[in-house]
Amino acid sequence: MSEPLLSVRDFSVVYDVDPPVEAVKNVTLELHRGEILGLAGESGCGKTTLAYGVQRLLRAPAVIAGGGVTFHDASGVDVDINALDVEAMQRFRWNKISMVFQGAMNALNPVATIGSQLEDVFEIHRPDMNRRQRRAEVEELLEIVKVGRQRIASFPHELSGGMRQRVMIAMALALRPQLMVMDEPTTALDVLVQREILKQISQLRHEFGFSVIFITHDLPLLLEISDRIAIMREGEIVELATAEQIWTDPQHEYTKTLLSSFPRLTGERGVLTR
């Protein structure tokens, strides 16, 4: 097993409302270097809250109530993410950990070109780069995600949903982070485009060596792409195992219920669980 990249220990998030809501409860997990870790569970179980909390992207009334997050940098330095000040966290985020947000296809600025939006990443995080260097990096990114450099002057509405999603992946990949968090990255895409995106994520992972936390309620999708899968329910990780073990020998009743809630194309007819 490869060395760890991210360690989460007894991590909890509470929404400070009346009454308080425990959204994430004492979650402990470890992400390995180069691994795709799937995070599955029904809507509202705390998947996105956990992902945001690990990166300190939470907004009030969400509060980190306990636990710690350690990033094991490739340089050999362990970084306590909770201990970073605001400026250090801004430098850390996107350089070490990037994110493809839920609904990312609609996150692009409709009145700015694809190229200018990608260049913004380098202007902010690589201020020493000149315009020609930024342009070259953007063209390379568009080629890597198979959008094509000819689209650099296109506006978002001129691209298909799948191409817009590829642009968002390019943006997350721009600074070559060690970890990419993807929150429902294939939502609203048709099945064929979804498969193309998943294939590309796997290829990019192998090419650049980053790790992925892939969040979705679609367990069959995770079984296809993930090395390991964490099943989340009501703010807790109830099962964590390899994708093969989750498919062939699930241990928790909730995992079995999730698996039985999807119809199968072959085999005897059964009862669809709700």
**When comparing pLDDT for 52 and 189, which is higher?**
52
Phi, psi of 24 (to 5 degrees): -130, 130
Given this model, what pLDDT does residue 198 score? 87
Given this model, what pLDDT does residue 173 score? 94
Domain ranges of the chain: 4-260
Q: Tens digits of per-residue pLDDT, 93-102?
A: 999 999 998 7
Tell me the CA distances in angstroms from 22 to 67, 68, 251, one per residue in order: 14, 17, 25
Given this model, what pLDDT does residue 274 score? 59
Given this model, what pLDDT does residue 271 score? 62
Q: Categorize the per-residue pLDDT at 104 as very low, low, confident or very high, splitting at 50, 70 and 90.
A: low
61 contacts: CB under 8 Å, gap ≥ 6? 15, 16, 17
pLDDT higher than threshold 90 for residue 184: no
CA triple 24-96-68, angle to 5 deg: 35
Whole-number Å distance between alpha carbons of 188 and 138 = 26
- Identify the CATH class of 4-260: alpha beta
Q: Categorize the per-residue pLDDT at 58 as very low, low, confident or very high, splitting at 50, 70 and 90.
A: very high
pLDDT higher than threshold 60 for residue 153: yes
Q: Categorize the per-residue pLDDT at 192 as very low, low, confident or very high, splitting at 50, 70 and 90.
A: confident
Given this model, what pLDDT does residue 265 score? 60
Q: 3-state SS string over 11-25?
A: EEEEECCCCCEEEEE
Q: Tens digits of per-residue pLDDT, 37-52?
A: 999 998 899 999 999 9
Characterize the bridge pairing of strands 4-15 and 97-100.
Answer: unpaired
Average pLDDT over residues 134-144: 96
Q: Categorize the per-residue pLDDT at 273 as very low, low, confident or very high, splitting at 50, 70 and 90.
A: low
Tell me the CA distances in angstroms from 225 to 101, 229, 242, 244, one per residue in order: 19, 10, 11, 11
pTM over 0.85: yes
